[in-house]
Chain A
């Protein structure tokens, strides 16, 4: 599938230092296929108007495109369209639940259950809500390979636990959380469950009905869509939560002293003019992904991960983190080179045209648990990466070791 797909991504023609661009940072943000760029251009060139209010054909068309995008994205995660809210990304999605649901339902003594694997986007909002309500943050333990200790997580659920906020796929270790084991148990105990799917939705088939969670957050830009797009799926119960962004379009009526909010529909949470062209672009991204097929994408990433795992683990001085390759692991690979700071690794790789991420990947607590205050290097793979890309990574890491010897 490689060659044809690469041609769909104009940016991959870019040269770095006279070398081919080897983009291995898709866990941070993905590149965009021409189909997404064209869909957004077409919207602005032919259909742009504000939505939901105008009676003229142009506005009706813009509204229809926006709502069709919602239906398209909803189908992608097997949700009803009236439960899918467009946001600016997973960070905003999680903040909406933390501030909207959390401020109304949490009080002193309540517990918010998290895992140490969470991205800051699924930690810091809860710290804020804990500070404002007096609720307490509780973290489960990790296994020796730093994956979630599911038995411990279950043990920590008590009558005090009001919400479990948990990642679907770790953005550092690539480990897929066994949600089928965790979510039903938490729900039985009356715990609200929010899943951070930012690293899952781009890489595997997500079915929110099957997961049974109350909220699911994802970022459009990590799945070929434009920046500033994201989704928040909510269960029927959570659709009644307080909207923390208020203003136009989210109301039924406004008088001088008070307003009646829209109920049980996404616009309750979409105050102001939304990112209409962004939603159209995200729908085009979803179309693109489904045309190729999520299973095929997952299998492709698996092959690249196995190749990288094999190649890097054979290099003396390289440590790989996270579980070894398996279908329950996504194509994100954190590693360290003994005696070389991750920033130095990344800069030398950059000279080879190889783009990786370094640092603590917005997961400081996890890195502190791993004892890696200097962070890690992280390569992440997507559908447009090739075996040659992985070879360039392996070659580059060997060179780093030579230079620092």
Chain B
């Protein structure tokens, strides 16, 4: 399957109709992450209760790959234990996509993962309100 077809099938759908995009008023863990080279800029917001990701949302701008990954990943981690999410790596994203993005796009795909990790660790850039 060419990358063209993959775009149509998965990334475009998630990009055009992203899940979990918007503010999360009850967020307990928030981090903003950016790929300065491409201008991708995502804020990951998590509501953690009793060691479980009760809710996850994201805000931001970026290419279709970064936005699709954020949509898929925030959906994937809802209801999972924090320890489980902390152990996730690029294989998780590859699994969600169903294919390995080309090396140039990997950084875009992994941005949301970094955002979630930073949020849970309480580090990373502090998100500015409204962004």
Q: Measuring CB to CB, which residues of chain A are less than 8 angstroms from any residue of chain B? A: 17, 340-344, 347-348, 350-351, 359-360, 372-375, 403-404
Contacts and interface: CB of A to CB of B under 8 A. Distances in A.
B29 to A, nearest CB: 26
B104 A343 contact: yes
B4 A343 contact: no
Contacts of B12: 403-404
B7 A359 contact: no
Given A343-B65, A344-B65, 13 more contacts: A340-B64, A341-B38, A341-B39, A342-B38, A347-B102, A347-B105, A359-B37, A374-B62, A374-B63, A375-B38, A403-B8, A403-B12, A404-B12
24 contacts: A340-B64, A341-B63, A341-B64, A343-B38, A343-B104, A343-B105, A343-B108, A344-B7, A347-B7, A347-B102, A347-B105, A348-B4, A348-B7, A350-B3, A351-B3, A359-B37, A373-B39, A373-B41, A374-B38, A375-B37, A375-B38, A375-B39, A403-B8, A404-B64
A347 B40 CA distance: 16
Nearest to A358: B38
Contact of B38 (A17, A347, A359, A404): A359
Contacts of B8: 403
Going nearest first, the 3 A-B pairs with the smallest beta carbon separation are A341-B63, A374-B39, A373-B39
Given A341-B62, A341-B64, A404-B12, A347 B39 contact: no
A375 B63 CA distance: 11
Interface residues of B, number: 20
Nearest to B64: A344
A347 B3 contact: yes
A17 B4 CA distance: 11
Contacts of A360: 37
A186 B128 CA distance: 45
Contacts of A359: 37-38
A351 B63 contact: no
Contacts of A351: 2-4
A360 B2 CA distance: 27
A403 B102 CA distance: 19
Nearest to B37: A359
Interface in B31-71: 37-41, 61-65
A17 B37 CA distance: 27
Of A17, A374, A375, which is in contact with the most chain B CB atoms at under 10 Å from its CB?
A: A374
A347 B68 CA distance: 15
Contacts of A372: 39
Of B40, B63, B65, which is in contact with the most chain A CB atoms at under 10 Å from its CB?
A: B63
A334 B7 CA distance: 24
A359 B105 CA distance: 12
Contacts of A342: 38, 63
A90 B126 CA distance: 39
Interface string B6-26: 011000100000000000000
Contacts of B63: 341-344, 374
B60 to A, nearest CB: 12
A344 B104 CA distance: 11
Contacts of B3: 347, 350-351
Contacts of B64: 340-341, 344, 404
A351 B65 CA distance: 16
A372 B37 CA distance: 11
A372 B40 CA distance: 12
Contacts of A347: 3, 7, 102, 105
Contacts of B39: 341, 372-375
A360 B39 CA distance: 10
A350 B104 CA distance: 12
A131 B61 CA distance: 34
A351 B2 CA distance: 7
Nearest to B66: A341
Contacts of B62: 341, 374
